[in-house]
């Protein structure tokens, strides 16, 4: 893919992986549409990117578990930027507990954000990609979408669902020259991981958001005639 002149929409852009991907794309001259629940994070990032790289940045606050929020955010970003070439479905949450200990409302919240948020934004963006006969979608899943673990029923269910959703969509839209990829990182040193109580380890040895951004950029750089269906990334030697 030739990056110059492209437009990208990133959910969960205010922190962690989303922020790292936004900066990596900006370095390549990509104009950005940023979505997050926290306006201050988006404002700070937009100013940093515009001052550092000079690319155009638009942002919209949205709760991606709310379909009306998603549709309004996409309408704003599309009006500001035009056709979206790249969609990065990154926004997500995590918390852990046994099936009987986790309140049903929390279980439902995780599914609503991680799965339905990915679906809602894809549903909003995809018709325009189909009309343009081009586009790339990257869904940030997890190794938790490949294997379950105790206390992870909600999170794993949401990420397994994202993996299935990704594969189904890619089979539908390949004929429209649209590439769809799932990224499956293991634990990443982010605020999400810390707030969920995951073991982060030594920062020099633990996977960083910038590492996942590198993987996303590598998949995007491929010629548009090919795509990677899924790509995993692991910490080499966590300590």
Could you state, in order of their start, the residue ranges of all structural domains in the chain? 7-233
Cα 198 from Cα 184, distance rounded (Å): 17
As a whole-number percent, the residues of the chain with pLDDT over 70 amount to 94
> CA of 12: how far to CAs of 22, 89, 129, 162, in Å?
10, 8, 21, 16
Q: What is the pLDDT of residues 107-150, one digit of tens each?
A: 999 999 999 999 999 999 999 999 999 999 999 999 999 999 99
Q: What is the pLDDT of residue 192?
A: 65
Cα dihedral 146, 148, 153, 159 in deg (nearest 10): -10
Which of 65-69, 163-167, 185-189 is the least confident region? Answer: 185-189
Intra-chain end-to-end CA distance of the chain, in Å: 36
**What is the CATH T-level fold of the domain 7-233, as seen in this structure?**
Rossmann fold (3.40.50)
State the pLDDT confidence band at 205, using cuts at 50, 70 and 90: confident
- Is the Cβ–Cβ distance between 174 and 225 less than 8 Å? no
More confident position, 195 or 22: 22
How many other β-carbons are positioned within 10 Å of the β-carbon of residue 219? 19
The pair of structure tokens assigned to 190 is 């982010």
More confident position, 199 or 150: 150
What is the pLDDT averaged over residues 225-229?
97
197 exposure class (CB count in 10 Å sphere: 0-12, 13-18, 19+) = exposed
pLDDT at 198 over 70: no
Q: What is the pLDDT of residue 108?
A: 98
What is the pLDDT averaged over residues 188-202?
66
Degrees to nearest 5, angle at CA 214 with 211 and 32 = 115
Q: What is the pLDDT of residues 77-89, one digit of tens each?
A: 999 999 999 999 9
Cα 85 from Cα 193, distance rounded (Å): 29
Q: What is the pLDDT of residue 189?
A: 83
pTM for this one?
0.95
- Is the Cβ–Cβ distance between 110 and 93 less than 8 Å? yes
Q: What is the DSSP track for the chain?
A: ---TT-EEEEESTTSHHHHHHHHHHHHTT-EEEEEES-HHHHHHHHHHHHHHH---EEEEE--TTSHHHHHHHHHHHHHHH-S--EEEE---------TTTS-HHHHHHHHIIIIIHHHHHHHHHHHHHHHHT-EEEEEE--GGGTS--TT-HHHHHHHHHHHHHHHHHHHHHGGGTEEEEEEEE---SSHHHHHTT-----TTTS--HHHHHHHHHHHHHS-TT---SEEEE--SS--
Is 119 annotated in the active site?
A: no
As a whole-number percent, the residues of the chain with pLDDT over 90 amount to 90
């Amino acid at each position: 893919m030739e990056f110059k002149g492209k437009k990208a929409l990133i959910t969960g852009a205010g922190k962690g992986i989303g922020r790292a991907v936004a900066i990596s794309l900006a370095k390549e001259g990509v104009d950005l549409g940023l979505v997050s629940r926290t306006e201050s994070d988006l404002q700070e990032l937009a100013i940093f990117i515009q001052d550092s790289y000079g690319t155009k940045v638009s942002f919209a606050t949205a709760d991606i578990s709310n379909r009306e929020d998603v549709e309004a955010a996409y309408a704003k970003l599309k009006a500001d930027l035009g056709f979206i070439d790249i969609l990065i479905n990154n926004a997500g949450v995590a918390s852990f507990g046994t099936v009987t200990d986790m309140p049903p409302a929390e279980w439902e919240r995780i599914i609503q954000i991680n799965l339905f948020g990915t679906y809602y934004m894809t549903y909003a963006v995809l018709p325009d990609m189909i009309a343009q006969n081009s586009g790339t979608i990257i869904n940030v899943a997890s190794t938790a979408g490949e294997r379950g673990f105790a206390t992870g029923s909600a999170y794993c269910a949401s990420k397994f669902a994202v993996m299935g959703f990704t594969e189904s969509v890619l089979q539908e839209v390949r004929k429209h020259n649209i590439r769809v990829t799932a990224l499956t990182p293991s634990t990443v040193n982010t605020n999400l991981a810390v707030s969920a109580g995951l073991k982060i380890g030594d920062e020099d040895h633990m996977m960083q958001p910038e590492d996942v951004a590198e993987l996303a950029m590598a998949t995007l750089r491929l010629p548009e005639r090919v795509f990677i269906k899924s790509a995993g990334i692991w910490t080499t030697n966590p300590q």
